[in-house]
Amino acid sequence: MSPGSTSSDGLHTVHRFISAVLAALVLLVLIPAIHPAIAKAGFEELLQANAGLIAKSSSKTVGPVLEQLRQHGGDEAEAFLTRWQAKELYFIKKTGQFVLAEKAAKTASGKKQLLIRDAVTGEEIGIVPAKSVRQIKPNSGVRSKIAATLVPFQLGNPDPAIRETTLKTLLRDIQPSHLAPLKAAITREKVPSLKSQMEKAYVFGMLAHGTDEAEVEGAIRSLAGDLSLDVRAALTPVLASTVSVATKLPDGVNIARVIIPGRTTRQGDGTAGRMSAIGGKDAEMSVMAAYDMMVAQGLAPPFVTRGMRDEALVEAAIDGRVGSFAVADLDNDNARDAAYQQLVDQGRAPALVSALQRQQAVEGAIFFAFYDNPSPLVTGAAHDVLNEIQTRVALYKYLDLLLDALSLASIYFLAAIGLAITFGVMRVINMAHGEFIMMGAYTGYVVQLLVPGYTLSIAIAVPAAFIVTFAAGVAMERLVIRHLYKRPLETLLATFGISIALQQLAKNIFGTQARPLTAPSWLDGAFAVNDVLAISNIRIAIFCLALMFLGLLLYVMKRTRFGLETRTVTQNPMMAASMGINPDRINMLTFGFGSGIAGIAGVAIGLYSKVTSELGADYIVQSFMTVVVGGVGNIWGTLAGAAMIGSLQKGIEWFNPSNTLAAQTYMIIFIILFIQFRPRGIIAQRGRAVET
């Protein structure tokens, strides 16, 4: 080969290479421009091919159309589905073309016209008579199916609100086709809360439609520790089981438990070790029910009762005889059994089965429950996770009960602390203490009528209630109580009469209808730890208020002159008087102080309870029990008594939730027994308690 030819071949090769590169570049430039046109044409063909079904919009026939739109994908499919769902689609009657329409000016003759645009491209077509187009109106069922089809499109929407709404739609009706786009959306999601919801939705989808056992097991175990109701609702059907009977345990069946009729058995009793690993709830089945199941499955003859035997004899009686037996002779069970056995021998009746035979038949069979889900791997994972969740749910329920008791104890403490001060210092049995609580609540109600803004009104109501009830307490002490010292029975009767008078006065002023004392908006709702444990914000506020009062009272009693003089009068009034302290003045101020605290308690109680004239009466018994059980005149004793009574009441109500009256009765009986063994309360107070 000559050098010239070699050079020529090389030149041709270079030319071909350059041509190929240029062609590739041309294709790279043209393909993006050509592809939308191709896609648009394909989408329009898809719509025209299904135009009749789309226009009809029937929930029975729309499924295949939606599936084709989902598979096509793209922005135009999403826009079309969205408009279809929103009832914004129209079609031209003559051509079947899908359009968007809006009102246009009427003709000179007054006929309605519409401005129409292409439903795919949005290009304006023109103004046409309104009668020439028809609106597509999908019903709620079709719109629901469209919403499910839109899920893969909207999971990637840049708006988090749309993605969240899409997730809620998906959770209501998750389909196998949603799993792949959902899994892809999880990897893209940047919002932690949405990502967590997507992961949960994917797990639920795997539970409903997953085919890979290992993947489904992993999805189930990823739910460990999630106490939400939807998780428990999703896992429970996985452990659904069916009870059956056989002569031996079948192979290839996912056994849930073996049942021994006549007694409750734990799953796995008397079976292979693999069953105890699966777990399951206890089961109970009577011998009669077990035998009926055997009869239904053809494993035993029907059990003939005496009534069935006698009915068969009556039907077989001809001319006063049943076979060779006279009807008159069938006056005892032995004769009837013999006559019936003759019918059995003749093939005219089923054989008699004795109770012993029935028992033996049941004992010879195996009764078991098998999971509807055939995979032991899946049911085992569901059992383990659900057991762990139920254990934690039980723990949180106990914790919720404890917090509920603590909340009730704080209410009792607020209601009783004023009574503890007056009763402890003055030894006055004030049956009108509940009415001071009621007065405080009504004071808060009146303040809210006068002051706009619930937060400001409550802030004003607390000191206002203290002032009002303090003044009422001082007036009561000056006018009545001071004349009845050391006469407890007469004091009790007098304060009881005042209690009735104050209730009637409240009815005359405010009426018998309950009045609302509205809490500020920031006290609405509840602090929820999870779906099991939650405590209302108002109760948290009352608990904090009780702690504040505890600290305030301890400071007043331990760090102020008034507290020092009060404790001095409590322990030895004669010695206090000899040191220049006026016991009469201290009694008056103490009674007023205790009444004022009751007024503040009334505001707190009124925030979650309707304000009525009987409000205080609902707490007077618990207040006295709290003071007596805790120790008369002792702040710490009152706290201990409130904690004890609140916990006791909630505990009894937990065992007997349907009868609160019985719970209160049991509580009072317990308190009576407690006082018999510890008459001075949990924390005994030194001073006048010792005197008496």
pLDDT at 6: 45
* Cα separation, 630 vs 652, whole angstroms: 19
- Domain assignment present for residue 244? The answer is no
Mean pLDDT, rounded, for 653-662: 71
Mean pLDDT, rounded, for 183-196: 84
Give phi and psi for 95, each to the nearest 5.
-100, -20
CA terminus-to-terminus distance, the chain? 137
pLDDT at 660: 64
Q: Which of 220, 238, 256 is the last residue of a domain?
A: 238
User: Under a CB-based contact definition with an 8 Å cutoff, are residues 418 and 626 in contact?
Assistant: no
Q: Which of 421, 441, 422 is nearest to 616 (CA)?
A: 441
The residues with which 534 forms a beta bridge, in sequence order, are 528
428-477 per-position pLDDT tens digit: 788 888 899 999 999 999 999 888 888 898 889 999 999 999 999 999 98
Q: Which of 206, 223, 238 is the last residue of a domain?
A: 238
DSSP characters over 627-643: HHHH-TT-HHHHHHHHH
pLDDT at 469: 94
CATH of the domain at 565: 1.10.3470
418-431 per-position pLDDT tens digit: 888 777 666 778 88
Structure tokens at 526: 């509840």
CB-based contacts of 296, cutoff 8 Å, min separation 6: none
pLDDT at 97: 84
- Domain assignment present for residue 4? The answer is yes
The band of 105, judged by pLDDT with boundaries at 50, 70 and 90, is confident
* Cα separation, 15 vs 651, whole angstroms: 95
User: Under a CB-based contact definition with an 8 Å cutoff, are residues 386 and 235 in contact?
Assistant: yes
* Cα separation, 514 vs 501, whole angstroms: 19
**Which amino acid is it at 401?**
L
pLDDT at 471: 94
Structure tokens at 538: 């108002």
78-to-20, 34, 61, 73 alpha-carbon distances in Å: 38, 21, 20, 7
582-609 per-position pLDDT tens digit: 888 888 888 888 889 889 988 988 887 8
Mean pLDDT, rounded, for 618-636: 80
Do 164 and 20 fall into the same domain?
A: no
CB-based contacts of 215, cutoff 8 Å, min separation 6: 206
User: Under a CB-based contact definition with an 8 Å cutoff, are residues 527 and 534 in contact?
Assistant: yes
The residues with which 92 forms a beta bridge, in sequence order, are 133
- Domain assignment present for residue 650? The answer is yes
Do 39 and 159 fall into the same domain?
A: no
Question: How many independent structural domains does the chain possess?
Answer: 3
Q: Which residue has the higher pLDDT, 511 or 51?
A: 511
Where is average pLDDT lowest: 21-25, 70-74, 99-103, 255-259?
21-25
* Cα separation, 315 vs 214, whole angstroms: 62
Give phi and psi for 142, each to the nearest 5.
-65, -40
Mean pLDDT, rounded, for 63-74: 80
* Cα separation, 514 vs 612, whole angstroms: 5
Query: What is the tally of helices (H) and strands (E) in the chain?
Result: 27, 12
pLDDT at 337: 82
Alpha carbon 368 to chain centroid distance?
Answer: 33
- Domain assignment present for residue 94? The answer is no
Structure tokens at 331: 């006056």
Question: Could you count the other beta carbons within 10 Å of the beta carbon of residue 605?
Answer: 24
- Domain assignment present for residue 667? The answer is yes
Structure tokens at 78: 């999403």
618-to-89, 98, 149, 334, 604 alpha-carbon distances in Å: 63, 70, 57, 69, 15
**Which amino acid is it at 156?**
G
Instruction: Identify the domain containing residue 673 by its residue range.
Output: 393-691
SS3 124: strand
pLDDT at 447: 92
Structure tokens at 278: 């699966």
**Most confident by average pLDDT, 57-66, 172-181, 448-457:** 448-457
pLDDT at 487: 82
Mean pLDDT, rounded, for 122-147: 85
% of the chain residues with pLDDT over 70: 88
Give the pairing of strands 321-322 and 113-118.
unpaired
Do 665 and 517 fall into the same domain?
A: yes
pTM of the model: 0.64
Q: Which of 167, 187, 90, 69 is nearest to 134 (CA)?
A: 90
- Domain assignment present for residue 217? The answer is yes
Question: Could you count the other beta carbons within 10 Å of the beta carbon of residue 255?
Answer: 22
Q: Which of 201, 241, 242, 245 is nearest to 223 (CA)?
A: 201
* Cα separation, 148 vs 140, whole angstroms: 12
Structure tokens at 585: 């003045």
266-312 per-position pLDDT tens digit: 443 333 333 333 334 444 678 888 888 888 888 888 877 778 888 88
226-274 per-position pLDDT tens digit: 888 888 888 888 888 888 888 888 888 888 888 888 764 444 333 333 3
C-beta contacts of 60-64 below 8 A and 24+ residues apart: 62/138, 62/142, 62/145, 63/145
414-to-99, 288, 604, 605, 673 alpha-carbon distances in Å: 70, 59, 8, 9, 25
- Domain assignment present for residue 271? The answer is no
Give phi and psi for 173, each to the nearest 5.
-155, 75
Residue 219 in this model has a pLDDT that exceeds 90: no
Q: Which of 509, 504, 517, 514 is nearest to 432 (CA)?
A: 504
Where is average pLDDT lowest: 271-275, 404-408, 488-492, 574-578?
271-275
Alpha carbon 287 to chain centroid distance?
Answer: 38
640-652 per-position pLDDT tens digit: 888 888 888 888 8
- Domain assignment present for residue 687? The answer is yes
331-375 per-position pLDDT tens digit: 888 888 888 888 888 888 887 777 888 888 888 888 988 898 888
The band of 26, judged by pLDDT with boundaries at 50, 70 and 90, is very low
Q: Which of 241, 230, 215 is nearest to 383 (CA)?
A: 241
Q: Average pLDDT, whole number, for the chain?
A: 80
Q: Which residue has the higher pLDDT, 307 or 23?
A: 307
pLDDT at 9: 54
Q: Which of 327, 328, 329 is nearest to 315 (CA)?
A: 327
Q: Which residue has the higher pLDDT, 159 or 443?
A: 443
Q: Which of 207, 238, 269 is the last residue of a domain?
A: 238
SS3 126: strand
